[in-house]
Amino acid sequence: MKAAVYYETGAPAVLRYEDVADPTIDSNSVLVQVAAISIEGGDTLNRLGGAMAAIPHIVGYQCGGTIVAVGDAVTDRTEGQRVVCVMAHGSHAELVSVPASFTWTVPDGIDLPLAACVPIAFGTADDCLFEFGGLQKGETVLVQAGAGGVGIAAIQLAKRAGATILATASTDEKLARLMPLGLDHGINYCDEDFVDAVRRLTDGRGVDLVVESVGATLAGSMRSLAYRGRISFVGDAGRDTEPVDLSSLKEGNQSIHGVFLGAELLTATRAYTNIERLIGLVAGGDLQVIVDRTFGLAEAADAHAYLEDRKAFGRVVLVP
């Protein structure tokens, strides 16, 4: 099969498009012919300097496709089913082998490229807001990196829950595109200090919850909190995160909670069924997946560079 691989970590240029051996399946796994790959922020971080399972290494957490083989012990999946799946690595390829328990069937009403973008972004956003963030109707949320995959999902989910939503982005154009998705107040962090903007927009009170997926903005997110405010800390996409003194949280009885969807999928049935519910909401038109741009798998280096340059509004997808 063809795959986007690298022999050493580094800039997007380390990615090569090569022939590699087809993956094999065990009794509990399925083999999926990949139709679309959603590039996740963690994919670019892994390529930049993460662990490599093999040399060459195939990066990638998430994809969608059609099952072409089923392990002997698998009873709830069949050949020909459309599924979306998550994995520790390997999505940037024409074929993937994954445990059947890490696949979700794709219902009618949603194309595979859209379904391939749902589990990690929407599952993470939902956990940040509700499972760990404790969001309640009438509260105010700040979504950092609102134009990213988790950000776009969080804005829609928070609006459905009756929250007031503030979000940051790098351009007024991106903020304008977020308004129809539920954004109430946009903050262009290139034009103004986002902490000052949060205080202004909340009459000095601050926000009840921050969805923090940048990392480098964590200190500012802390200063944006209302009394007893919470932060769901989910990522370090900024890559230049520095140590932050958390002692100031005591003064406002505030809290910060780390969120990692992968751990929930390994330990909690709730996370699996929650993603199934979210896929259904997208299929029914209640939530939107925004795909900014689609690249061929052979163009994986260009796609990673495009995502890292923060040009995208929504997801960047690879198609084998």
Tens digit of pLDDT for each residue in 148-183?
A: 999 999 999 999 999 999 999 999 999 999 999 999
Mean pLDDT over 242-269 rounds to 91
pTM of the complete model: 0.94
Which residues, 6 or more positions from 107, have their beta carbon under 8 angstroms from its beta carbon?
A: 279, 280, 283
Q: Torsion-angle region of residue 317: left (phi > 0), alpha (psi -120 to 50) or beta?
A: beta
What residue ranges of the chain are covered by domains with CATH 3.90.180.10? Answer: 2-117+289-319
User: What digits encode the pLDDT tens for the residues 69-82?
Assistant: 999 999 999 999 99
User: What digits encode the pLDDT tens for the residues 2-61?
Assistant: 999 999 999 999 999 999 999 999 999 999 999 999 999 899 999 999 999 999 999 999
pLDDT surpasses 60 at 239: no
pLDDT surpasses 70 at 266: yes
Query: What is 121-262's CATH topology?
Result: Rossmann fold (3.40.50)
What residue ranges of the chain are covered by domains with CATH 3.40.50.720? Answer: 121-262
Q: What percent of the chain has pLDDT over 70?
A: 98
Mean pLDDT over 129-149 rounds to 97
DSSP tag of 106: P
pLDDT value at residue 193: 96
Q: For residue 287, which of 105, 127, 184, 157 has the smallest C-alpha distance?
A: 157
Q: Is the domain 2-117+289-319 a CATH 3.90.180.10 member? A: yes
